[in-house]
Copies of this chain bind each other. A is one copy, B any other.
Amino acid sequence: MQIQSDKPKVGDRPSLADSLRQRRQRLAALVGFPVVLWSGRSSSRNFPANVFPFRASSHFLYFAGLPLENAAIRLEGGRLELFMDDGTPESALWHGETASRSEIAEQIGADAAYPLAMLKPRTEEAATIAVQDAATRLQQSHWLDRMLSPANQSQGIDLKLVKAIATLRLTHDEAALAEMRQSAAVTVQAHQAGMAAIANAATEAEVRAAMEGVIMANGMTCAYASIVTVQGEVLHNNHYHHALKPGDLLLADVGAETASGWAADVTRTWPVSGKFSQTQRDLYDVVLAAHDACIEQVRPGVEYREIHLLAAKVIAAGLVDLGILRGQAEDLVDMDAHALFFPHGVGHLLGLDVHDMEDFGDLAGYEAGRVRSDRFGLGYLRLDRPLRPGMAVTIEPGFYQVPAILNDPERREKYRQVVNWERLAEFADVRGIRIEDDVLVTETGHEVLTAASQLP
């Protein structure tokens, strides 16, 4: 790991070391036991030395601030101990001179720093969270001398730690927001580049390249596998080979992540030709109305579930206006008819993970005592909490014609009365539309972090 030590410092922001100190003091107020967090190691791609880019564990990044590979930190009573090995002469040949353990310790404000092997005797009675890569998870299990469960099934002190970290990471401090504003700004640039590229692009892949190129040129990585597709109805579509045809809509869900891991997550849907058809414009306006209405509602105290239901209602009402659905919007939402066309939740937490803390399962997204609904129109809702200042969420309503849903005989029978299938057929040139922004809950309302983006 080479550390970029020549980064300019921003004058009126607390230093990295100060921000991290505050985070671990807040942790110390919540748990009385020691905590050990591992950063993880690179995963091999096709042979051991050819690895995927290293991505440190988000929980490690939250308290250690830097993407150190194969390192660990021990936190207790607000103290930070760093465990990592210095580079070897061999690694200096292949990977260059790297920042030393003591240099890094100073940068992150560690109280002490040791070689990694010295961590083992310091793991006693410590809680931890399982990392994603198996090699490190094995080391965690060995050193803690217990089988580790995945984070969403943690028990005992590990579960207490999960809950404490979820509490801390639910709302973002200034250091986090400074990072998120950077990834949001680059993400907006990437979408602008995508819109500019479409005039000369022949395939989805070319638009994707233009967008990810902006992220890469800014020294960031993609926070998740980009979706850049004319088949917007495939919700997690990671293929990019289709040709762009003039009548297509292109759905681009692309977000940047800063070097220390803070994510953005934005979706736009544009007409390939530069001009919507009337049917595309009509449905786009329905989704946009839901998007705008939901963002308008974001403020402290509002239940995120209500924002989801508002999106459902606005979409249902819009589809009634267009003659696609029949009935009253509220009744249609009660019977989940909106979910025929809007089958996912209106958004999720955003932070170090694009679905923040999703490794905790619903422990982060769901208020204590609440569980996922088994309703078709609510089961994919990833966040069910009252909003609080400092939370960042996405707002991302959509309209899709998913064959697996619309051709399902049971659903066709159940919604026989409320869908005008003939009318729907007139909107065949709309496969999927989604409009997504990142919204910070402020003390008095909200701030759209990705606001500079230009809607088509």
Q: Assess whether B213 is in contact with A209, with CB atoms less than 8 Å apart.
A: yes
| Interface flag for A352 (CB, 8 Å) | yes
Residues of A197-253 contacting chain B, CB below 8 A: 203, 205-206, 208-210, 212-214, 216-219, 224-225, 231, 233-241
A57, chain B: closest CB distance, angstroms: 7
Q: Assess whether B225 is in contact with A46, with CB atoms less than 8 Å apart.
A: no
A187, chain B: closest CB distance, angstroms: 15
A366, chain B: closest CB distance, angstroms: 16
* Contact partner, A358, options B47, B58, B94, Cβ 8 Å: B47
Q: Assess whether B93 is in contact with A402, with CB atoms less than 8 Å apart.
A: yes
Q: Which residue of B lies closest to A43 (CB)?
A: B43
Binds B, one of A130-138, A268-276, A321-329, A448-456: A130-138
A188, chain B: closest CB distance, angstroms: 17
List the interface of chain A (C-beta within 8 A of B): 2, 4, 43-53, 55, 57-58, 89, 92-97, 132-135, 150, 203, 205-206, 208-210, 212-214, 216-219, 224-225, 231, 233-241, 261, 343, 352-355, 357-359, 402-405, 408
A253, chain B: closest CB distance, angstroms: 13
Q: Which residue of B lies closest to A206 (CB)?
A: B217
Q: Assess whether A51 is in contact with B93, with CB atoms less than 8 Å apart.
A: no
* Contact partner, A208, options B4, B216, B352, Cβ 8 Å: B216
Sample 19 A-B pairs with CB under 8 A, ordered by A number.
A43-B43, A43-B52, A45-B55, A46-B55, A46-B58, A46-B359, A47-B359, A49-B358, A50-B354, A51-B225, A89-B408, A92-B404, A93-B235, A133-B134, A205-B216, A205-B217, A205-B219, A208-B217, A212-B212
Residues of B within 8 A of A217 (CB): 203, 205-206, 208-210
Q: Which residue of B lies closest to A96 (CB)?
A: B234
Q: Which residue of B lies closest to A135 (CB)?
A: B134
Q: Assess whether A216 is in contact with B225, with CB atoms less than 8 Å apart.
A: no
Among A95, A231, A357, max chain B CB count under 10 A is at: A95
Q: Assess whether B132 is in contact with A95, with CB atoms less than 8 Å apart.
A: no
State in angstroms the CA–CA spacing of A238 and B95 once bound together.
Answer: 8
User: Copy number in this complex?
Assistant: 2
* Contact partner, A132, options B2, B48, B213, Cβ 8 Å: B48
Q: Assess whether A46 is in contact with B57, with CB atoms less than 8 Å apart.
A: yes
* Contact partner, A219, options B46, B47, B240, Cβ 8 Å: B240
Q: Assess whether B53 is in contact with A225, with CB atoms less than 8 Å apart.
A: yes
A201, chain B: closest CB distance, angstroms: 8
A199, chain B: closest CB distance, angstroms: 15
- Answer whether A359 and B48 are a contact pair too, CB < 8 Å, given A213-B212, A217-B209, A234-B95: yes
Q: Which residue of B lies closest to A87 (CB)?
A: B404
Q: Which residue of B lies closest to A7 (CB)?
A: B241
Q: Assess whether B52 is in contact with A353, with CB atoms less than 8 Å apart.
A: no
State in angstroms the CA–CA spacing of A353 and B50 once bound together.
Answer: 9
Residues of B within 8 A of A203 (CB): 217, 219
